[in-house]
């Protein structure tokens, strides 16, 4: 995912802001990392360049 996507990403539960942690970046694309919502104490993974912001109950569904 591109870094500027952070401008419009929010926690799906509380719609609050997310903090980005980058594990691997390739050509300005974040390939692996995590998005954390401090309010919900929930972490959303970024895998293969796709942020997974599915609510926890659907993440493995």
Partner 1 sequence: MQEIQPAGTEKARTVSSMFGRIASQYDRGNRVLSLGRDQAWRRIAVRLLNPAPAERVLDIGAGTGDLSLALAKTAGSVVALDFSLPMLEIGAAKVFGARIPVSCVAGDALRLPFPNESFDAVATAFTVRNLAGMERGFAEIFRVLRPGGRLAILEFTRPGSRLVSAVYKPYLSLVLPRIGGRLTGDGPAYRYLAASINSFTTPKEMGALLTGAGFDGVRWRLLNWGTVAVHLGTRPGAPARQRGAGIHA
The residue ranges that bind partner 1 (CB under 8 A) are 1-2, 5, 8-13, 15, 44, 48-55, 57-58, 61
| 8 Å CB contact between 18 and 35 | yes
| 8 Å CB contact between 38 and 54 | no
Q: Which is nearer to partner 1, 23 or 56 (CB)?
A: 56
Q: Which is nearer to partner 1, 25 or 55 (CB)?
A: 55
Q: Which is nearer to partner 1, 23 or 55 (CB)?
A: 55
């Amino acid at each position: 995912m591109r870094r500027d996507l952070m401008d419009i990403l929010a926690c799906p539960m509380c719609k609050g802001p997310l903090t980005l942690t980058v594990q691997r970046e390739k050509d300005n694309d974040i390939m692996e990392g995590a998005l954390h919502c401090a309010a919900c104490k929930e972490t959303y993974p970024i895998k293969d360049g796709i942020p997974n912001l599915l609510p926890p109950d659907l993440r493995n569904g």
